[in-house]
Structure 1
């Protein structure tokens, strides 16, 4: 495959690995993986190989690029899954000597203890958010903002940066663009969530006009800050008369994302579904590079921890999984 053909294919690969990278991406697309971040990182790898005249997919080539990127980007490492997957794909297609990035490059995971929201806390929070005593526009957008975190598992930053053109109310879908690791994804929305977003959008347009940079905005019409989200969360929590632990882990907006993950675990287990078969859907919905990242959330499921021994003795997969009704 020529460089010209590759450019026409939208990848612009130029290294000795150009045909393999293009074929690999075509394979992933056939499997339904269209993430822009995968293409972006493989372009960086391709450029590295071109500039360093690398022609063999060996340890020196792969780890040389990884080391160079780490020096630029710091400790964040989920992007390594892309180049690791390429090595496995090459081996599966006859290149037995292709190097698969060692797991020693994975960042160590520290034990985490997120705040686990109770159903009564969630109900009280949203009842208060619907009538929160706050300056415009949080009077009407508080429910919509935290609904996306609770019902769709969005990160706080993803919700803050959401643009109006990424919310497709008619199609009931939502685009999360260039999120963590430069990954993007399209999420289906339930009718209830769509109605909440539509009401918020209608009121915001009435106050600020048809054009705005982000879906959720400050009183000056700008993108809201992370500090503002923390403050409005604390205000709603306080107005709802919800208690806070005297010490240890405290409730934060991110607790809604945790709840989204383990609530799906609990529901699917109660329904008797093969949760392991569903785990890749949860990982993709939440924007994780791999299901390993999802384990950070599912291990917080009380029902999962309680049922763990039963699952293993029943001969099922050790790690159950999650879903979002039939919309995954």
Structure 2
């Protein structure tokens, strides 16, 4: 007879065990929570290889690398469950083969960002519309990761100094993010509406759901996909589809484009951009910029003028 606890409790135990060993597992914890939701929706008491593979291949059109990441997370959890109940199979590592097919960033134009904010305004109720309009604007204007925006508390906003405090980021560090006064004003307007709609907050989050709770990453993805379709924003290739995270890429590229156009010393400014984005190594920032043809053209022009001046 199996002594396996309910799968959701087993997941909590698994994550707690791994974290005591020093693993943060933020992304894995979120991904596995979605996997358990999938099992619940299909009435499954324990995961099987078929469940793991079917779930890992969601959503339709996801990159091979992303599907492999999802399967890898489930494999670790399944190995833990197998130790508790040997009848539970661990999915083979080669079920989803992948190579270096990192997703190509979708770089949004100002017009597309504006369209997203407009169509988000049609969401109902009004608080939900305002939340997604504010979220999209914040990602585009501040270059935040989606998880960082979700984790923001109201107390992290310093309206007097036009600053956001991003705490315990992807790499366990905190940073200050200056925002333009117009962005600070938009956040102030959102807080006013939020507090009118829900005068008794049930959590300290800056951005809240209609229930007053902190936003969930999975729900943001689903809603964002709907908004991009309504705005007529479609994938550009098999590896380039519009994602919320790409608003961060777009912020980085727009910043460097502006520096090139205004004659700023881009090389000297790159460490500042890396720090602003919370990157631990400038090479990660350069990856953000590598998929922008316009940026590469400006860089080529700058190099051509430099070489011409030396001749």
Do they superpose with TM above 0.5?
yes
Aligned to 2:248: 257
Partner residue of 2:218 out of 227, 235, 246: 227
Change (3 A) 1:299 1:241: closer
Instruction: State the 1:238 CA deviation.
Output: 2.7
Match of 2:265? 274
The superposition leaves residues 239-291 of structure 1 with CA deviations (integer Å, 9 ceiling, x where unpaired) of: 33434447442101111101000111111111111100000110111011121
Answer yes or no: is 1:297 the counterpart of 2:288.
yes
- Give the whole-Å Cα distance in 2 for the aligned partners of 1:157 and 1:75: 13
Kept in 1, the 8 Å contact 2:103–2:240? The answer is no
How far apart, CA to CA, are the structure 2 residues paired with 1:246 and 1:278? 31
1:53 corresponds to: none
1:163–1:215 CA contact under 8 A, matched in 2? yes
1:120 maps onto 2:111 in alignment: yes
Select 1:139's aligned residue among 101, 116, 129: 129
Look up the SS of the partner of 2:223 in the other structure: helix
Tell me what 1:193 maps to: 183
**TM-score relative to the length of structure 1:** 0.59
Residues in 2 aligned to 1:248 and 1:292: alpha-carbon distance in whole angstroms: 21
Q: Give distance in 1, aligned partners of 2:271 and 2:237.
A: 37
Distance in 2 separating the partners of 1:255 and 1:191: 23
Q: Which structure 2 residues correspond to residues 235-250 of structure 1 after superposition, within 5 A?
A: 235-245=226-236, 247-250=238-241
TM value normalised by structure 2: 0.62
CA distance in 1, matches of 2:123, 2:24: 41
Instruction: Confirm or deny that 1:155 pairs with 2:165.
Output: no
Structure 1 residues 303 and 184: CA distance shift in structure 2, 3 A: same
- Cα offset for 1:165? 0.4
After superposition, the Cα gap between the structure-2 partners of 1:132 and 1:272, relative to the gap in structure 1 and judged at 3 Å, is same
In 1: Cα distance, 2:209 partner to 2:258 partner:
36
Give the equivalent residue in structure 2 for 1:179: 169
Flag the 1:298–1:245 CA change in 2: closer, same or farther, 3 A.
closer
Q: What are the ranges of 5 or more consecutive residues in structure 2 without an aligned counterpart?
A: 1-18, 27-98
- The structure-2 alpha-carbon separation of the partners of 1:139 and 1:110, relative to structure 1 and needing over 3 Å to count, comes to closer
Shift in Å at residue 305 of structure 1? 1.6
5 Å-filtered alignment, 1:100-115, equals 112-115=103-106
1:231/1:74 CA distance change after superposition, 3 Å: closer
Moved segments of 4+, more than 6 Å = none
Shift of the 272–197 alpha-carbon distance from structure 1 to 2, 3 Å rule, reads same
Deviation for aligned residue 1:310: 3.9
